[in-house]
Amino acid sequence: MTDGLIMLRRQFRHMARDLSTTLLLLAVPIIFLLLFVYVLGGTLGDGLGGQGGRQAYVNYVVPGILLITVASAVQGTSIAVAIDMTSGIMDRFRTMAIARTSVLTGHVLGSVLQILCQLLIILAVAVLVGFRPDATVTEWLATAALLTATAFALVWLAVGMGLSAKSVNGASNLPMPLTLLPLFGSGFVPTESMPAGLSWFAEHQPFTPIMETLRGLLLGTPIGNSGAVAAGWCGAIAVAGYVWARRNYGRERSA
Amino acid sequence: MVPTMTDIPAIEVTGLRRSYGDQVVLDAIDLHVPEGSVFSLLGPNGAGKTTMVRILATLIRADEGVARICGHDVAREPDRVRAVIGMTGQFSALDDYLTGEENLLLMADLNHLGRTERRRRTKDLLDRFGLAEAARKPAVTYSGGMRRRLDLAMGLMGRPKVIFLDEPTTGLDPRSRRDMWQIVRDLAGQGVTALLTTQYLEEADQLADRIALLDHGRLVAEGSPEELKRLVPGGHVELRFADDQALKRAAVALDVPPDGEPLVLRVPGDNRIQTLRNLLGRLDAAAVEVEALSVHTPDLDDVFFAVTGAGR
């Protein structure tokens, strides 16, 4: 564990040095938020049922924006892992008598903490543009727990991507679809409004139950079984990402 | 050479084989490197040098054979091996985002050095490797020579008993290369065992106590630089005479036919004192006056071409 904390400190140094990447990845959800609230929000809000307009849409879209924040941030994780793998530093760590996965632990812990900070920033921006949640303290805690679990799961998936990518470029492209996934779910419009095939996909993809649960916790919409499904998806993605990452990490690399 | 301190060799390799697919990269390699010596694996690109180092450094596995570092099996006890080795690769293994100092402190922390010790060792290494001035600059701004020195310094933080230097001077300018050589000599002086791979004959000749020539995954020759040079035909003593008469008498006395060059006789032999004493004794006995004498020993280039086949 000590080795993992040493590696975590290394990650913090990297983030501090490479602030531009962090800001760039943070810009993605902010642009989505402003675009959807101010350009499309007036019309989309009316389509939610009732005549809520822009104000109703801000509340509706925030859970989707939060997931885009996570998805965009893990792109940074994947890139950072790939940079380590393609430079000699990973080989150096592997020839040292240190905990085998401490490098990965450092990446995962560092990224999750970074994502939580970014989520706070995005929530603040959301409140500035009119987001008005009605969550109780317990609901806020549950929201934090779910977002942490989602970040943890997607970070492990991104570590797996970073390890399996042949180049840093590849590692940067692999997680891209994750950023768009909230759009093909209940993030921006209700799934019922989509054509049959797409709406089936939107209802069954992992991000939708997470977004529905967040919406329920923050705004009091019905959650139903979404909470349990969301937790299941987080667990499954985390385990799959972890196993994939471990396998890629242990794999021999020729020089 | 530093005397052997224990009976356990620093590096011992028997019957090591490794292939990638159907391409054999290392074929039945045996090595024995005593503690405190500098051993060089010399060979052209693709000879298998880096694969050898990667197996010994626990990065990849051998298909067959046993390799031990300070008595620990690299396949069975990798962590024990990792605790005694240091590695410097052909591609600098440092963290570009961190400064030179932070890179060293990271190594100190991973070696679990105490609070004062980590600072002290880091400062020592920065000074010793001429990096003190650039200590607070990110490694990404370093020159090739500085990167290589920082890389080596990082490998030394854990006070390794055995250090692997995989082509430590490839791509360096002549001055940085000399600096690196001096560093390796200093290490050897402190009793660290070094396994050095290189494609430069001069480098192996300058630094190594023993050299193994690797070609297409096979060890084609092994010995001290002097022993290897003696392997090559062409070592000779050249005698120059004042007149033809002396040349003829010397040819008879030494039983060597003149090879046509006027007033010169080439006698096969090396530069050992005994050989020369013997030679001069026979000339004295025959009362032949020699005007000049020079000894020609082949260099490692000759050895390399002789054992691997010329025209490469």
Q: Out of A6, A9, A95, whose CB is closest to B82?
A: A95
Is pLDDT of B90 > 80? no
User: What share of chain A in percent tops pLDDT 70?
Assistant: 98
B113 and B211 belong to one structural domain = yes
Residue B305 lies in a domain: no
Name the pLDDT band for A44 (thresholds 50, 70, 90). Answer: confident
Among B58, B109, B136, the strongest candidate for a mutation testing the A interface, having the largest count of A CBs within 10 A, is: B109
Contact of B50 with chain A, judged by CB distance below 8 Å, is answered with yes
B284 and B259 belong to one structural domain = yes
pLDDT for res B310: 45
Using a CB-CB cut-off of 8 Å, the residues of chain A touching B148 are: none
Residue B185 lies in a domain: yes
Name the pLDDT band for B236 (thresholds 50, 70, 90). Answer: confident
The tokens of B36 are what? 């405190």
Cα A10 from Cα B139, distance rounded (Å): 14
State whether A10 and B158 contact (CB < 8 Å).
no
Cα A239 from Cα A225, distance rounded (Å): 21
B151 and B25 belong to one structural domain = yes
State whether B110 and A6 contact (CB < 8 Å).
yes
State whether B94 and A14 contact (CB < 8 Å).
no
Domain limit, last residue, from B202, B230, B258: B230
pLDDT for res A11: 92
Rounded to whole angstroms, what are the CA distances from B240 to B263, B264, B277, B296?
6, 5, 17, 14
Mean pLDDT of B54-74: 93
pLDDT for res A118: 95
How far does A53 lie from chain B, in Å, by closest CA? 47
How far does A106 lie from chain B, in Å, by closest CA? 13
State whether B95 and A94 contact (CB < 8 Å).
no
Domain that holds residue A93: 2-189+198-250
A126 within 8 A of A25, measured Cβ to Cβ? no
pLDDT for res B309: 61
pLDDT for res A219: 92
Mean pLDDT of B198-210: 89
Mean pLDDT of chain A: 90
Residue B78 lies in a domain: yes
B59 within 8 A of B78, measured Cβ to Cβ? no
Residue B180 lies in a domain: yes
For A13, which residue in chain B has the nearest alpha carbon?
A: B98
- DSSP designation for A38: I
Using a CB-CB cut-off of 8 Å, the residues of chain A touching B87 are: 91-92, 95
Contact of B112 with chain A, judged by CB distance below 8 Å, is answered with yes
The tokens of A16 are what? 């501090």
B34 within 8 A of B4, measured Cβ to Cβ? yes
The CATH number of whichever domain residue B69 belongs to comes to: 3.40.50.300
Among B18, B92, B97, B195, the strongest candidate for a mutation testing the A interface, having the largest count of A CBs within 10 A, is: B97
Domain limit, last residue, from B207, B230, B253: B230
Number of A/B CB contacts below 8 angstroms equals: 73
pLDDT for res B21: 87
Residue A60 lies in a domain: yes
Residue B5 lies in a domain: no
Q: How many domains does chain B have?
A: 2
B272 and B198 belong to one structural domain = no
B20 three-class SS: strand
Mean pLDDT of B211-222: 90
pLDDT for res B157: 93
Name the pLDDT band for B37 (thresholds 50, 70, 90). Answer: very high
**CB atoms closer than 10 angstroms to residue A210:** 31
B158 and B32 belong to one structural domain = yes
Residue A255 lies in a domain: no
Residue A67 lies in a domain: yes
Name the pLDDT band for A254 (thresholds 50, 70, 90). Answer: very low
Is pLDDT of B237 > 90? no
For A85, which residue in chain B has the nearest alpha carbon?
A: B93
Rounded to whole angstroms, what are the CA distances from A214 to A65, A137, A148, B103, B286?
11, 14, 12, 42, 108
List all residues of chain A from 17 to 36 with a beta carbon under 8 Å from chain B: 17-18
pLDDT for res A253: 58
pLDDT in tens, A20-32: 888 888 999 999 9
Place of tokens 């885009």: A68
Q: How many domains does chain A have?
A: 1
Is pLDDT of A252 > 70? no
B184 and B101 belong to one structural domain = yes
Is pLDDT of A161 > 50? yes
B41 and B155 belong to one structural domain = yes
Residue A53 lies in a domain: yes
B255 and B185 belong to one structural domain = no
Is pLDDT of A85 > 60? yes
State whether B106 and A10 contact (CB < 8 Å).
yes
Select the more confidently predicted residue: B8 or A62.
Answer: A62
Q: A100-125 burial, b if ≥16 CB within 10 A, otherwise e?
A: ebbbbbbbbbbbbbbbeebbeebbeb
Select the more confidently predicted residue: B274 or A156.
Answer: A156
Is pLDDT of A93 > 60? yes
User: What share of chain B in percent tops pLDDT 90?
Assistant: 48
Residue A174 lies in a domain: yes
pLDDT for res B138: 93
pLDDT for res B5: 53
State whether A10 and B50 contact (CB < 8 Å).
no
Among A11, A89, A254, the strongest candidate for a mutation testing the B interface, having the largest count of B CBs within 10 A, is: A89
Domain that holds residue B148: 11-230
The CATH number of whichever domain residue B291 belongs to comes to: 3.30.70
Using a CB-CB cut-off of 8 Å, the residues of chain B touching A252 are: 59-61
Is pLDDT of B286 > 70? yes
Name the pLDDT band for B7 (thresholds 50, 70, 90). Answer: confident
Mean pLDDT of chain B: 87
pTM for the model: 0.80
Contact of B110 with chain A, judged by CB distance below 8 Å, is answered with yes
Complex ipTM, two decimals? 0.84
B82 and B130 belong to one structural domain = yes
Is pLDDT of A96 > 50? yes
Cα four-point dihedral sign A81, A82, A85, A89: negative
B164 and B105 belong to one structural domain = yes
Q: How far is CA A186 from the centre of its chain?
A: 16
Q: Which residues have CB under 8 Å from B240's CB, separation 6+? A: B263, B264, B290, B291, B292, B293
B184 and B267 belong to one structural domain = no
Backbone φ, ψ for residue B4 (5° rounding): -65, 130
Is pLDDT of B164 > 90? yes
pLDDT for res B311: 39
Residue B82 lies in a domain: yes
Q: Which of these, A166, A139, A154, lies nearest to A223 by C-alpha position?
A: A139
Is pLDDT of B4 > 50? no
B180 within 8 A of B165, measured Cβ to Cβ? no
B176 and B263 belong to one structural domain = no
User: What share of chain A in percent tops pLDDT 90?
Assistant: 63
User: What share of chain B in percent tops pLDDT 70?
Assistant: 92
Mean pLDDT of A95-111: 91
Mean pLDDT of A229-251: 92
pLDDT for res B312: 38
Select the more confidently predicted residue: A153 or B234.
Answer: A153
Mean pLDDT of A164-181: 89
How far does A129 lie from chain B, in Å, by closest CA? 36
Q: How far is CA A51 from the centre of its chain?
A: 31
pLDDT for res B17: 94
Q: Which of these, A91, A32, A72, lies nearest to A172 by C-alpha position?
A: A72
Q: Which of these, A83, A171, A107, A76, lies nearest to B95 by C-alpha position?
A: A83
